[in-house]
Amino acid sequence: MMGHSHALSGVVGWMAIVPLVQGTEFWGVRFDLGPGEIIAGSLVCAGAALIPDLDHKSSTITQTYGFVTRALSALLNWMFGGHRNGTHSLLFALLMGALTQVLALWSPLAVQIFVFLLIGIAMNGLGFGMDKNRTAAEIINALGTAGITLALYTSGTDYSWIGLAVAFGCLLHFAGDMATEMGVPLLWPVSKYRVGQNIGFKTDGKIERNVVTPMLTIAIILLSVYLFPWREILPEA
């Protein structure tokens, strides 16, 4: 799947799971998600849904932060055995989630920086910063990302769920890739079997462009209407 479809699936995935996990506890994380956590989670999940493609040198995420993400891409490609290999496994999702959670426990500041970077990646994936006028688009992306991160920070957004959101974002990425013809080696390195190979639609083909992307967009609109307490947010008519 293309970067923007993965990013959209991250937003939809988080929004869709909010009503299911709200008020519950999972692995010691209590889900008490307000509007801030819904927005933050959507963007974190969207960014995380691009992480597995760090193994490819021309993917959206690899292009996001210049030589930093390009170096990271080269490293991950080498560590995990090339494109659509180890970074597309359950082990990788678990690893990313655990690393993020450790980061969150270690330093609240590190989490803010990580969230900022992930939102920047998400915005890039969603289409901000990739236009013809690159410099202007990148500045708008950076400003928007900083604004969102700051707004979430000042509204006291709680990030205790961030490791789970990152792992979930990776899983959504695998689901997206399994829906295309390439398949995903979920059980790497134990098994190289590619789940979903040769079934599904073509990457960036007619179905992805004319069906998947619009459906994901509509899902975001419907879920927003459903999830946010609009009556409390909007002034009374």
The residues binding Zn ion (CB under 5 A) are 52-53, 177
With tokens 């959504």, the residue in question is 172
CB of 124 to Zn ion, least distance (A): 16
Please report, as a single letter, which amino acid is at residue 40: A
Nearest to Zn ion of 18, 84 (CB atom): 84
φ and ψ at 186, to 5 degrees? -55, -35
Nearer of residues 47 and 152 to Zn ion, judged by Cβ = 47
Angle CA 217–4–97, to nearest 5: 100
CA angle at 216 for the pair 134 and 171, rounded to the nearest 5°: 90
| Closer Cβ to Zn ion, 37 or 55, answer by number | 55
Cα distance between residue 125 and residue 49, in whole Å: 9
Which residue, 37 or 53, has its beta carbon nearer to Zn ion?
Answer: 53
Please tell me the distance from the alpha carbon of residue 213 to that of residue 5, in angstroms, as a whole number: 6
Closer residue to Zn ion in complex, CB, 88/159: 88
Name the minimum Å distance from CB 6 to Zn ion: 7
Smallest distance, Zn ion to C-beta of residue 52, A: 5
Neighbouring CB atoms inside 10 A of 108's CB total 11
- Residue 141, SS3 per DSSP: helix
Shortest approach of Zn ion to residue 114 CB, angstroms?
21
State the CB neighbour count (10 A cutoff) for residue 192: 10
CB 215, min distance to Zn ion, A:
19
